[in-house]
Structure 1
Amino acid sequence: MSDLPGLDGVLGVEHVELTADKVVVRFTITERHLQPFGIPHGGIYCAVHESTASVAAQIWLGEKGVVVGTNNSTDFIRQAKLGDTITVTATPIHRGRTQQLWHLDSVGSDGRLVAQGQVRLANLDQPVPPEALAAFTGTTTG
């Protein structure tokens, strides 16, 4: 578990770098990340990819609106092991007026690619909840 709210906190995600052009997070594979056959569940990569892209996209969009995921495509490259620390990096492919597309790489403790994905997000024209903006940028809407 981490101090982050929601699913990221349950998965033990830690924010490492938060900028408008790149977001980096990490988590360590524990028993709670395993599927019934004892290997990491692929859904953890999908979930962390979407939340990492969402944070990145919201930081870039700022107070202009709220981002929501519209598509998540994740490929599983190789199996991580119990105790591996996974580092996830989100970088922009496209950032436009109505939508954004982010690329994500998840690498294991050995630096090898474990999963790779893309997340598409819609930029909605609605107010940003002040607590959400403050959590990631240190500012609030006025």
Structure 2
Amino acid sequence: MSEVPGLDGVLGVEHVELTPEKVVVRFTITDRHLQPFGIPHGGIYCAVHESTASMAGQIWLGTKGVVVGTNNSTDFLRQARNGDTITTTATPIHRGRTQQLWHLDSVNQDGRLIAQGQVRLANLDQEVPPEAVEAMKGNLPG
């Protein structure tokens, strides 16, 4: 578990870089990430992709509204192994008034692509809760 709140904390995700143009996170595959057959569960990548894109989208949108995921498409390209460090990077494809589309790459410590995906976000016209703004500020590296 990491100091990061929520599911990212449970998965051991560390926020490495958080900017409006790119968000980078990393985590290490452990026993808690494995499915019953002893290989990493694909849901890890889906979850990390969605939370990373959501963080990126919210940083870009700021306090103008709240982002929510509306679609997550993740392809699993190569199996990671227990002990591998996975780095996930989110970069924007499209950022508009009502929606955003983010591209995500998850690579292992050797730079080999493990999973790739896209996450679509809706920009909701509602106030960002003050505790969410504080939590977001508290999770920025440095």
TM-score, normalised via structure 2 length: 0.95
The answer on whether the counterparts of 1:75 and 1:116 sit within 8 Å (CA) in structure 2 is: yes
TM-fit CA distance, 1:134: 2.2
Range with greater deviation from structure 2 (124-133 or 57-66): 124-133
In structure 2, what residue type is equivalent to 1:92?
A: P
TM-fit CA distance, 1:62: 0.3
What residue number does 2:125 align with? 125
Which portions of structure 1, spanning 4 or more consecutive aligned residues, are displaced by more than 6 angstroms? none
What residue number does 1:39 align with? 39
State yes or no: 1:19 paired with 2:19.
yes
Corresponding pairs, count: 138
What residue number does 1:78 align with? 78
What residue number does 1:107 align with? 107
* In structure 1, C-alpha distance between the alignment counterparts of 2:132 and 2:104, rounded to whole Å: 22
TM-fit CA distance, 1:132: 1.2
TM-fit CA distance, 1:90: 0.1
What's the secondary structure of 1:134's corresponding residue? helix
RMSD over aligned CA atoms reads 0.8
TM-fit CA distance, 1:103: 0.2
TM-fit CA distance, 1:54: 0.1
TM-fit CA distance, 1:133: 1.6
In structure 2, what residue type is equivalent to 1:16?
A: V
Unpaired runs of 5+ residues, structure 2, are none
State yes or no: 1:89 paired with 2:100.
no
What's the secondary structure of 2:128's corresponding residue? coil
TM-score, normalised via structure 1 length: 0.95
In structure 2, what residue type is equivalent to 1:15?
A: H
Range with greater deviation from structure 2 (86-95 or 123-132): 123-132
TM-fit CA distance, 1:135: 2.3
Once the two structures are aligned, what percentage of the paired residues are identical? 86
Unpaired runs of 5+ residues, structure 1, are none
